[in-house]
Chains A and B, each alone.
Chain A
């Protein structure tokens, strides 16, 4: 621990020194787990004023459109099924209710930590129909794919997947191509996503857009080291895509996991809450496995819904505004009574700011 503290002091000193020769630097941390870690460790307090950390669209629950929440609720209320979902999704408001409210009407909604729970239940209860809500980026997609392959191999007839998987690099490309109000000078890239897909899919950031991209781990030291790597690149004006999280991330990723994804899914356009449709940013279940695609089996037709009035989640997800700048933040929108998903998810930007930094200006001296 003493070594860690010493390292952090040295990193902070080095960051301060280099930042003197730089102007205002906006670094987007793409991943929601990074946003949470930055708040939890209080890292903003260690950074010089000209280093500004902005949160990106890297919280899967936050970017799931309201229409998906509504569809899942309709599915469980109108069919004789048991729904397995990660806990994070339960409090996200749909246009009429949240899953947790739906649970008080129909208790057949189970919270799980892994889709394996749904698989075990399906194997042991062949007469019951089970739907698992698959959510997440490239990090969780291989596990969903492995479940689908497993039910296919076992010839199970009672487990279906409501698939909402999304891909991170196309979303970053979309943000960089759009003329949004915020200027991002560099990216802190998601360590867990890159553990699966490797660093290559993020190379366009430095090659095409000439911006530093560093794939970071999740400890305080990891994040500060990554920021230092970004600043060094900026100082030398040599943008590249670097891996800080070397113990876990390899250039080509995890080939086994990628094989699972490619066998079960194919890319398709996907809707991101508050952002809109992004080309090739979603995953669709391949024809071979369509028997397990809950959207097809239960004939789900997404109904377009309006996002809640005054909710700024879309702008927050793109780093255009910070949570404090949303009028609802901490007033009408709090974790126990959220308006938008960024306040609900354990990786949500607003939840991170509310939990760790809501009084930061006035109370932490």
Chain B
């Protein structure tokens, strides 16, 4: 969930839910603040973290949930099943938790091919076995034809957080380095260009991957990891802005250090999209003390999901209004804003 400035104006104006209420931008945060927080808010929920950590009889338990509506269900590099496991695993590990178990809720449209469903369940099985996090409870519902588009999935997950670990953007400090575990913008472009109605084909694959062992590795080499976040909907621009707002800091990112494949960049340029705002499903941003940054980078580079890791920037001074600056390749500076210039429904 995202937390942003809440002006409370637009929700009063909107009489109906629009697609933009689901894009992760300003209208999404209004929906969350004006309805969800208004009626359901409490100390834990109000933090709006990807996972919430609660204390149960002395143990720190992380708990998260996510729903998946991606269209198409099968795309280059993954499918809704793999996505629904990776997404929840990644939300847990970004709070420093070791995932223990997942739930699986399926909402299926009448008439959906059982063969496709089997493929998706097999993909869920394979992904969850790979990371050794079992599905331990679940639910299935079937709804009339045309009530939903084929299949929606919800997964929840729980994990245990070590007593000594506290990963939260509130701990980010000036001089922290910002590291990413590889090339950006591949999931969004892969899904978008896998759509039938999209007459534009590429070979770009989704980066969808579970990052449990990568995060475990870095937590074991450094005690100074302050914050981690998976850069999904809204891309790295949204995570950087969210962290800048929460920690009240200025972050500077160097364009020449941001890893991106030439092909992804070419597609983005052709379609007029900014890759900083495009969704990833296997990329995390890590904020770490400068003295540990090199060894964390080294650890990441030795992992299969981090070979192209780079230090892409650093935290500058305290700033009441969170702000993210891009140092461009040609030596100028510009804002990386939190708003989305593009809107793609159902990317995850």
> Chain A residues in contact with chain B, CB under 8 A?
1, 4-5, 8-9, 39-43, 45-46, 87, 91, 100-101, 103-105, 110, 112-114, 116-117, 120, 220, 334-337, 346, 351, 354-360, 363-364
Contacts and interface: CB of A to CB of B under 8 A. Distances in A.
5 contacts: A354-B339, A355-B339, A359-B323, A363-B250, A363-B325
B339 A5 contact: no
Nearest to B327: A42
Given A336-B26, A337-B10, A39 B20 contact: no
B256 interface: yes
Contact of A357 (B198, B199, B335): B335
Interface centre among A91, A117, A363 (most CB of B within 10 A): A363
Interface residues of B, number: 35
Q: Is the interface of A mostly helix, strand, loop or mixed?
A: helix
- Per CB-CB distance, the 10 closest pairs between chain A and chain B, nearest first, are A42-B332, A336-B26, A104-B16, A42-B334, A45-B332, A364-B333, A356-B334, A8-B330, A335-B339, A220-B330
A113 B198 contact: yes
Contacts of A335: 339, 341
Contacts of B256: 1
Interface string B274-291: 000000000000000000
A112 B192 CA distance: 12
Contact of B325 (A112, A358, A364): A364
B335 A355 contact: yes
Contact of A8 (B26, B199, B331): B331
A111 to B, nearest CB: 8
A93 to B, nearest CB: 11
Nearest to B13: A337
B343 A87 contact: yes
Interface string B237-276: 0000000000000100000100000000000000110000
Nearest to B269: A218
A3 to B, nearest CB: 12
Contact of B333 (A42, A100, A120): A42
A360 B18 CA distance: 32
Q: Is the interface of B mostly helix, strand, loop or mixed?
A: loop
Interface in B323-348: 323, 325, 328-335, 337, 339, 341-343
Nearest to B343: A87
Contact of B323 (A41, A46, A114, A363): A363
Contacts of B198: 113
Contact of A100 (B9, B20, B325): B20
B58 to A, nearest CB: 44
B18 A113 contact: no
Contacts of B114: none
B332 A43 contact: yes
Nearest to A114: B199
B187 interface: no
Given A335-B341, A346-B342, A356-B337, 17 more contacts: A1-B256, A5-B329, A5-B331, A40-B334, A41-B332, A42-B330, A43-B332, A46-B331, A101-B16, A103-B19, A116-B199, A336-B26, A336-B339, A346-B341, A354-B337, A355-B341, A364-B325
A363 B251 CA distance: 12
Contacts of A87: 342-343
B112 interface: no
Given A104-B17, A354-B337, A117 B331 contact: no
A336 B335 contact: no
A325 to B, nearest CB: 19
Given A336-B25, A363-B323, A45 B333 contact: yes
Interface string B1-13: 0000000011000
Contacts, number: 97
B185 to A, nearest CB: 16
A87 to B, nearest CB: 7
Given A1-B256, A359-B323, A41 B26 contact: no
A114 B328 CA distance: 31
A336 B21 CA distance: 10
Nearest to A121: B197
Contact of A113 (B14, B200, B343): B200
B27 interface: yes
B337 A355 contact: yes
A146 B25 CA distance: 37
B329 A1 contact: yes
Nearest to B25: A336
A70 to B, nearest CB: 18
A65 to B, nearest CB: 23
Contact of B197 (A39, A117, A346): A117
B19 A46 contact: no
A354 B335 CA distance: 9
A113 B334 contact: no
Contacts of B332: 41-43, 45-46
Nearest to A87: B343
B335 A358 contact: yes
A100 B18 contact: yes
Interface string B137-177: 00000000000000000000000000000000000000000
Contacts of A91: 20
A87 B14 CA distance: 20
B159 to A, nearest CB: 34
Contacts of A40: 334
B329 A346 contact: no
Contact of B334 (A46, A334, A364): A364
Contacts of B250: 363
Interface in B181-221: 197-200
A13 B333 CA distance: 18
Interface string B100-138: 000000000000000000000000000000000000000
A43 B328 CA distance: 10
Nearest to B256: A1
A104 B339 contact: no
Contacts of A336: 10, 20, 25-27, 339
